[in-house]
Amino acid sequence: MDMRNADPAWDLVDAKREDFEALADRIFDAPEIAYTERRAVAEHTAMLRAQGFRVTENAAGIPTAVVGEWGAGGPVIAILGEYDALPALSQQAGLAEHAPVEEGGHGHGCGHNLLGSAAILAATAVRDWLEAEGIPGRVRYYGCPAEEGGAAKTYMVRDGLFADVDAAISWHPYSHTGVDPARSLANTRIDFTFHGKASHAAAAPELGRSALDAVELMNIAVNYLREHMPDEARIHYAYLDAGGTAPNVVPARATVRQLIRARDLGGLSELVERVRAIADGAALMTGTRVEAKVHSAVSNLIGNRPLEEALQGVLEGLGPVPFDAADRAFAEAIRETLSRGDIAAAFRDMGRAPDYDLPLCDFVLPLDRPFLGGMGSTDVGDVSWATPTVQARVATCAIGTPLHTWQMTAQGKAPAAHKGMAHAAKAMASLACRLMRDEALRRAAAADHAARLAESPYACPIPPETRPPIAAE
């Protein structure tokens, strides 16, 4: 039996998918990085208004965030969208060779042009279903900027934008299809600025106090710390200010950004304190003063078994993304640019043995598959602390395509990507419609969420006085 379009929500997605595929392509063609997504948010805002949503711009005081709502009364179901790109991943779409549109330019190397467009398409399908059914309920689309390092959802959660939401649904473009395991690392980005004293590096070095020395000593100590922290924890760093380019001047100021990750908020707090102590020690050793400023932070994801089981049922009903021979041929061309290690890593993430002859995912992964891959971080984690949350991964690219690469960007406008995007929209819309009418599922999801919160009380990782690092006009 062909299960496609067996759900009314799927027909509603298909009825408008071309308009939203075009939206995804427009976002792809104008890539904007964290907190600069002015064209993207304008496109999403215009689409929300065209579909009859009530629109709130400047959500949580963020100019590139938008919320659209339709309906009245009943439960509130949120569908999360993103549209930010990544720096230095410019790439011509449809080419299986590295060919930047603009050298050093931005690009959608994580598929967020698809992510946000599928989410708003799903929300529109739910809107159309609610109107046709005439039942109470509100669907709410959250246009969330700056997932890549800016943590906009964390600020939106902190400012209460999810306080009345019954459940949140999201997805991410990937090389396979399945329920996203609720595993991620909590993280924080902290800028450590050391203040010293300038002097002539040859004539009077004894009068100087080098801020750059302090940064380097801090990084050395953090490197030694890596041996003595949990296996899943990570620390990365980048020099934001190395003190200038004149080697004959003792640098009076230098800044390093430390990105600290841990399995959960408790572990993150402990690790942050150790890194802060290292910074204090580096300042003491160099006679400098250190100033620490939180740039952004996100919580780890917490799962929700009732929602995960419900989403699994939807995905199994949908089946795999309906790729064709042309999709497989382009995927094969992309895979020629990847290593066997890239492909093996993708299968580890699926909990399966590698199949080096399979270009595109033609199956739906089971819910309780082995977890053999690594973990990143996402600000969806903060939403998961505020309300029951579930995510899908849906195949849009060749198996083995690493995120944050030119190969991912190259596939961002391909027919396979459009098919995966519509597939994701159908899954999210179907689950949202079920949540609107299934009080028992909402109650089960709320109970599961409350139980998990009781095990680890939530503490927002962003200090109350911290505001989003919004780019200047």
> Residue 366 maps to which CATH number?
3.40.630.10
Domain-embedded: residue 2 = no
159 and 18 in a single domain? The answer is: yes
Counting Cα atoms < 13 Å in the Cβ hemisphere of 280 gives 6
Segment 94-106 shows an average pLDDT of: 98
In total, the chain counts a number of residues equal to 473
What is the C-alpha radius of gyration for the chain, rounded to an integer number of angstroms? 23
Task: List, in order, residues 6 or more apart from 313 with CB less than 8 Å away.
Answer: none
Sign of CA dihedral 190, 191, 195, 200: positive
Beta-bridged to residue 256, according to DSSP, are 192, 239
Tell me, yes or no, whether 397 lies in a domain. yes
> What is the per-residue pLDDT for 69?
98
- Residue pair 199/207 in contact by the 8 Å Cβ criterion: yes
403 burial type by CB count under 10 A (0-12 exposed, 13-18 middle, 19+ buried): middle
- What is the domain extent for residue 251? 186-297
Confidence of residue 473 (pLDDT cuts 50, 70, 90): very low
Q: How far apart are CA 49 and CA 27, in angstroms?
A: 17
- Residue in 110, 83, 301, 102 with CA at minimum distance from that of residue 187: 301
State the pLDDT at residue 114: 98
Domain end among 297, 325, 350: 297
User: 304 with 182: CB under 8 angstroms?
Assistant: yes
Listed range (289-303, 315-329, 369-383) with the worst mean pLDDT: 369-383
What pLDDT is stored for residue 273 in this prediction? 97
> Which pLDDT tens digit goes with each residue over 37-96?
999 999 999 999 999 999 999 999 999 999 999 999 999 999 999 999 999 999 999 999
User: E strand or H helix at 443, and its extent?
Assistant: helix 439-455
Question: pLDDT tens, 415-431?
Answer: 999 999 999 999 999 99
Contact 146, 332 (CB under 8 A): no
Helix (H) or strand (E) holding 172: strand 167-174
Burial (CB < 10 A; 0-12, 13-18, 19+), residue 216, is middle
Q: Are 401 and 408 in contact (CB under 8 A)?
A: yes
Residues 6 or more apart whose CB falls under 8 angstroms from that of 60 comprise 152, 155, 156, 158, 159, 161, 468
Q: How far apart are CA 275 and CA 262, in angstroms?
A: 13
Question: Rounded CA gap, 288 and 255, in Å?
Answer: 12
pLDDT band at residue 5 under the 50/70/90 scheme:
low
Residue type, 266: G
Distance CA 219, CA 217 (A): 5
* Residue 472 within a domain: no
Calpha distance 464→32 (Å, rounded): 27
Answer yes or no: is 64 within a domain: yes
* Residue 292 CB neighbour total at 10 angstroms: 14
Average pLDDT over residues 201-209: 97
Domain assignment present for 469: no
Do 88 and 28 sit in the same domain of this protein? yes
Q: Please tell me the predicted confidence (pLDDT) of residue 391.
A: 98
Judge if 334 and 269 occupy the same domain. Answer: no
State residue 356's pLDDT score: 96
Q: Which of 250, 270, 297 is the last residue of a domain?
A: 297
Statement to judge: residues 374 and 234 lie in one domain: no
Give domain status of residue 257, yes or no: yes
Whether 119 and 176 share a structural domain: yes
Rounded distance, CA 412 to CA 324, Å? 17
Q: Are residues 248 and 199 located together in one domain of the fold?
A: yes
Question: Do 246 and 329 belong to one domain?
Answer: no
Same domain for 313 and 385, yes or no, is yes
Residue 4 has pLDDT above 60, yes or no: no
What pLDDT is attached to residue 471?
A: 62
Is the pLDDT confidence value at 1 over 90? no
In this structure, are 275 and 162 located in the same domain? no
How many Å apart are CA 391 and CA 396, to the nearest integer? 15
Rounded to whole angstroms, the Cα distance separating 119 from 111 reads 13
Give CA–CA dist 136/373, Å, rounded: 41
Give the 3-state secondary structure of residue 140: strand
Q: Any idea what the CATH number is for the domain that residue 256 is in?
A: 3.30.70.360
CB atoms closer than 10 angstroms to residue 310 = 21
Residue 461 pLDDT: 83
For the chain, the domain total comes to: 2
From CA 125, how far away is CA 116, in angstroms rounded?
A: 14
Q: Is 433:129 a contact under the CB 8 Å cutoff?
A: yes
- Model's pTM, two decimal places? 0.94
Share of the chain above pLDDT 90, in %: 93
- Considering the domain architecture, whether residues 293 and 392 belong to the same structural domain is answered as no
Given a cut of 60, whether residue 3 has pLDDT beyond it is: no
Q: Quick check: is 21 in a domain?
A: yes
Q: How far apart are CA 97 and CA 115, in angstroms?
A: 24
Q: Please state, in angstroms and rounded to a whole number, the distance separating the CA atoms of residues 22 and 51.
A: 15
Q: Is 17 part of any domain?
A: yes
Among 249, 282, 297, the domain boundary falls at 297
Give the count of beta carbons closer than 10 Å to the beta carbon of residue 229: 18
Residue 460, pLDDT score: 77
Task: Give residue 374's pLDDT band: very low, low, confident or very high (50, 70, 90).
Answer: confident
Same domain membership, residue 305 and residue 292: no
How does strand 167-174 pair with strand 76-82?
Answer: parallel
The reply to whether 444 and 354 lie within a common domain is: yes
Residues whose CB falls within 8 Å of the CB of residue 14, separated by 6 or more in sequence, listed in order: 5, 422
* Under 8 Å between Cβ of 213 and 253: no
